[in-house]
Amino acid sequence: MRKKRKGSETDVSTEVTNNFASSCGSRSSNIRSHFSLEDYARLKKRCKEDVDAPPVGSCKSRLAGIATAPPCGASSLVPPGRGLKRKIGCIEVITQIGRKKKVEDDYVKGATIGRGKFGSVWLCRSRTSGVDFACKTLCKGEETVHREVEIMQHLSGHPGVVTLQAVYEEPDCFHLVMELCSGGRLIDQMAEGQYSEQRAANIFKDVMLVIKYCHEMGVVHRDIKPENILLTTSGTIKLADFGLAMRISKGQTLSGLAGSPAYVAPEVLSGNYSEKVDIWSAGVLLHALLVGVLPFQGDSLKAVFEAIKNVNLDFHSGIWESVSKPARDLLARMLTRDVSSRITADEVLRHPWILFYTERSLKTLSIKSKSKNQVGPSIQIYSSPGSKLSVRRIDGGSHSRVPQPVSTSSSSSCGSEEQDENGVVDVLAVAISHVRISEPKRSRLCSPTGPIEQQCSSNLTANNLLGKMMLMDDELNIQSGDNGVISSKAFDFQSHGGVCSVIEIESLSLGT
């Protein structure tokens, strides 16, 4: 017998439609997505069951035009014979919790703090330590519930994953005692207003670190969205809700419709997919962080899916003009439908936009930029025929006549550090988008992780970047300021399979 889930025995399509309709109004709801594709999969399964029922009011008529994908959980990745016993055994070993004990023996039950598809979440306090926790009660009956418990066990321990404190089993449910995230959900924080790029990048980096960890641990989350990113009181992000997560090994693919419509990757709608679906969903999240709206919208599910499959996003005009080019570059690399060219979590973390805003030495750069330029230059980037670009410092007055501006200027006279940074970041972006793809000299290639900021960014000063720059052919040449003093170092951004790494170059040529 199927277990009753929240809302699942009512008219799911109505609930979903209502949720959907109510999600299209306000600014905050532009980024909300309260329903899961599993509802449709489940509904579709029920439709199969009442296939002979009269069409009016049947599941079939309710489903028409909503979803056509196979049911979730049909993945071939769940090995047969992975019984509950084995899973419970695993839980016991790790949590040291006896099967006979009841959650009430150890915790005092408090108020309900959240409800999800598969159960409720409530506050509880340890009888021994007095520490507060969140307890998620999951009714047994579906494979996903056992999988969620198992995967949480598997991932628990990473600072970006909600720590599983203990698991209690009852005949018809599990109680998962988790660390309490009192800071609420990212979605609620996002609804309060737009994020600066700096703040977005820092949050996003943390999200990507957890996603990278999941992928390294052979787990695809499949439901990355701001509703599932919780915050601690200190503001640390924690990925939660592994209800749709799946284990995956290298080279394997998943099938089955799972996720939240607005965040779902196109390949989920059309067939087999891999962990790259999380990158797409994270790209949707980044889009929402940067401009406050979801990229793929529509007034019906069909319309949303159509948008996901076909709409080409334009990152060049409108609201995007106020977003730095590296941010747009990263977004484009994440929201590409070509899965093989979609970047990995590790590559996201090495992207210049992330590095610029999150690495300490690069942050120093922007601070220096402000203090050394009290009035501050503004930057304009121009393209000329033959794809030569020049970046000019505008000190007020002597503007050369230049063709085709490709970027808006960023003036610190507006008093905005963010704008200063956008200008600098845009310069990096121009470099990124016009470099020749070539093999870097190994000895001078900065390591993609750790040392990159020490080796590279220490030479990347604000003066260099805010000075006159000329990008000629494929090389970024940097000339400092107006005094003609040439900086000793410059940087060449090289693209390797879609990832940009920063290498130090020794040669310089003047861009006058």
Ligand X SMILES: Nc1ncnc2c1ncn2[C@@H]1O[C@H](COP(=O)(O)OP(=O)(O)OP(=O)(O)O)[C@@H](O)[C@H]1O
Report the 10 Å Cβ neighbour count for 297. 15
* Comparison of 121 and 465: residue with beta carbon closer to ligand X: 121
Q: Look up 299 and say whether it is catalytic.
A: no
Cβ density class 260-276: b for 16+ within 10 Å, e for less: bbbbbbbbbbeeebbbb
Between residues 181 and 291, which has the closer beta carbon with respect to ligand X? 181
Q: Which is nearer to ligand X, 247 or 434 (CB)?
A: 247
Report DSSP state, residue 431.
Answer: H
Q: Which residue lies nearer to ligand X by CB, 107 or 315? A: 107
| Nearest residue (beta carbon) to ligand X | 116
> What does the alpha-carbon distance between residue 62 and residue 13 come to, in Å, rounded to a whole number?
6
Residue ranges in contact with ligand X by CB under 6 A = 36, 113-114, 116-119, 121, 134, 136, 162, 178-181, 185, 227-228, 230, 240-241, 243
Shortest Å, Cβ 290 to ligand X: 23
- Taking the least distance from each CB to ligand X, the nearer of 162 and 431 is 162
**β-strand pairing of 378-384 with 388-394:** antiparallel
Residues 6 or more apart whose Cβ sits within 8 Å of residue 443:
none
468 annotated as ligand-binding: no
**Residue pointed to by tokens 């090495």:** 350
> What is the smallest separation between the CB atom of 35 and ligand X, expressed in angstroms?
8
Contacts for 354 with CB less than 8 Å, ≥ 6 apart:
201, 204, 205, 208, 330, 348
Which residues are CB-neighbours of 469 under 8 A, at least 6 positions away?
A: 390, 391, 392, 427, 476, 477, 478, 479, 511
Q: Which is nearer to ligand X, 197 or 223 (CB)?
A: 223
Closest CA to 198 of 290, 81, 133, 264: 290
Minimum CB separation from ligand X for residue 117, in Å?
4
Gap between the Cα atoms of 432 and 410, Å rounded: 19
Residue 228, judged by CB atoms within 10 A of its CB (0-12, 13-18, 19+), counts as: buried
Tokens of 59: 């599941």
CB of 13 to ligand X, least distance (A): 17
Q: CA 300 to CA 393: how far, in whole Å?
A: 48
Interatomic CA distance for residues 182 and 219, integer angstroms: 26
Pick between residue 268 and residue 490 the one whose CB is nearest to ligand X: 268
Q: How far is the CB of 439 from ligand X (least distance, A)?
A: 45
Nearer to ligand X, 41 or 162 (CB): 162
Q: Taking the complex as a whole, how short is the minimal distance between the CB of residue 25 and ligand X, in angstroms?
A: 20
Which strand (E) or helix (H) includes residue 478? strand 475-478
Triad 503, 504, 505: Cα angle to 5°: 115
Q: How far is the CB of 224 from ligand X (least distance, A)?
A: 12
- Tokens for 149? 């418990």
DSSP per-residue letters across 98-114: -TT--HHHHEEEEEEEE
Selecting among 39, 106, 206, 223, the annotated active-site residue is 223
**CA of residue 265 relative to chain centroid, distance:** 12
Q: Are 158 and 213 in contact (CB under 8 A)?
A: yes
CB of 438 to ligand X, least distance (A): 46
Nearer to ligand X, 73 or 511 (CB): 73
Closest approach of Cβ 189 to ligand X, in Å? Answer: 12
Query: How many residues are given for the chain?
Result: 512
Q: Can you spell out the DSSP letters for 142-195?
A: SHHHHHHHHHHHHHBTBTTBPPEEEEEEETTEEEEEEE--TT-BHHHHHTT-PP
* Two structure tokens written together for 21: 């309709």
Which are the catalytic amino acids?
223
What residues form the annotated binding site for ATP?
136
